[in-house]
């Protein structure tokens, strides 16, 4: 267990930990933006946009994340796109998670009872008012719980980036294994790091939920 505090192992571990957090935060941001855009497409009154959103989500949700990382890391350079490994990882992870975010948001909007919007419109509210005052506040509350499981899964999925040349916790695990430390000790510390991250994300979402909760 103590190997972490020998030599400069702790610096290596800390760098990996910070890189995982950076990668997860950037991917979460991309996933949230892209996912919201796709959700807007999927509930729009224009059939072409709806079809585009549906096809996009179906493709990305059914592709293994490893294959996506593979396609981005090895495929894009063939097309003349040369970016850092971290950027490639953010594109793959963010694009993959965006399709899940889209589905969560879309189903959240669909759980708002039709009568709510009809009542708002019959009171003379405009589209913008209906959306921001009636539909979205209710949808946000239903969306938070499933969204939290999507964003708890994201840092876990980010481990795959380590196998594609991003220096995060998984590649730290590989480096320690090659140095010959006990696999159980390494696993213990890596497990602690991931448990810490997912506990933080979970408590963040619990905080949001309690802030937004209303008596019904």
Partner 1 sequence: MSPFNRTATASVLYDAPGPRARARYRVFGVLSLIGVAGLLWFVYATLDDKGQFNPALWDVFQYNTVQQRIVDGLLATLEAFGLAAAFSLTLGALLAAGQLSDHKPVRWACTAVVQFFRAMPLLILIVALYYAFFATDPMWALVLGLTLYNGSVQAEIIRSGVNAVPRGQGEAAYALGMRKTQVMASILVPQAVRSMLPSMISQLVVTLKDTSLGFIITYHELLFVGKAIASQPTNSAGFPYIPVVLVIGPIYIALCLLLTALARWIEARGRRGANRRTSTAA
Judged by the rule CB under 8 A, the positions of this chain that interact with partner 1 are 42-43, 45-49, 52, 58-59, 61-67, 70-71, 74-75, 78-80, 106, 109-110, 112-114, 116-117, 121, 127, 130-131, 135, 152, 155-160, 162-163, 169-170, 173-174, 177, 183-184, 186-187, 190-191, 194-195, 198
Residue 164 and residue 89 in contact, taking contact as beta carbons nearer than 8 Å: yes
Q: How far is the CB of 205 from partner 1 (least distance, A)?
A: 14
> Token match 């796109």: residue?
81
Q: How far is the CB of 42 from partner 1 (least distance, A)?
A: 8
Q: Which DSSP letter does residue 205 get?
A: H
Q: Which residues contact 167 (CB under 8 A, 6 or more apart)?
A: 15, 16, 19
Cβ closer to partner 1: 40 or 211? 40
The rounded distance, in Å, linking the Cα atoms of 184 and 181 is 9
Cβ closer to partner 1: 42 or 141? 42
Q: How far is the CB of 114 from partner 1 (least distance, A)?
A: 5
Question: Quick one: tokens of 113?
Answer: 């009872």
H or E element at residue 31: helix 9-42
The rounded distance, in Å, linking the Cα atoms of 125 and 201 is 36
Work out the widest C-alpha separation in the chain, in whole angstroms: 71
- Alpha-carbon Rg for the chain, nearest whole angstrom, is 21
Q: How far is the CB of 150 from partner 1 (least distance, A)?
A: 13
Question: Quick one: tokens of 9?
Answer: 């192992």
Cβ closer to partner 1: 124 or 211? 124
Cβ closer to partner 1: 53 or 211? 53
Cβ closer to partner 1: 144 or 186? 186
Question: Quick one: tokens of 214?
Answer: 């209303």
Q: How far is the CB of 79 from partner 1 (least distance, A)?
A: 5
């Amino acid at each position: 267990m103590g190997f972490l505090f020998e030599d400069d192992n702790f610096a290596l571990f800390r760098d990996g930990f910070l890189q995982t957090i950076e990668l997860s935060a950037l991917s979460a941001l991309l996933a949230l933006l892209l996912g919201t855009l796709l959700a807007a497409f999927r509930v729009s009154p224009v059939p072409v946009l709806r079809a585009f959103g549906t096809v996009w989500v179906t493709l990305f949700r059914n592709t293994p994340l490893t294959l996506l990382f593979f396609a981005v890391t090895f495929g894009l350079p063939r097309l003349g796109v040369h970016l850092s490994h971290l950027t490639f990882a953010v594109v793959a992870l963010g694009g993959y998670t965006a399709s899940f975010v889209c589905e969560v948001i879309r189903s959240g909007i669909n759980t708002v009872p039709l009568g709510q919007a009809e009542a708002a419109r019959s009171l003379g509210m405009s589209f913008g008012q209906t959306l921001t005052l009636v539909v979205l506040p209710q949808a946000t509350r239903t969306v938070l719980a499933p969204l939290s499981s999507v964003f708890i899964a994201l840092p876990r999925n980010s481990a795959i980036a380590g196998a594609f040349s991003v220096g995060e916790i998984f590649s730290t695990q590989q480096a320690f294994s090659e140095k010959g430390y006990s696999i159980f000790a390494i696993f213990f510390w890596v497990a602690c790091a991931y448990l810490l991250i997912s506990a933080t994300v979970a408590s963040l979402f619990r905080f949001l939920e309690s802030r937004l909760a209303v008596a019904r």
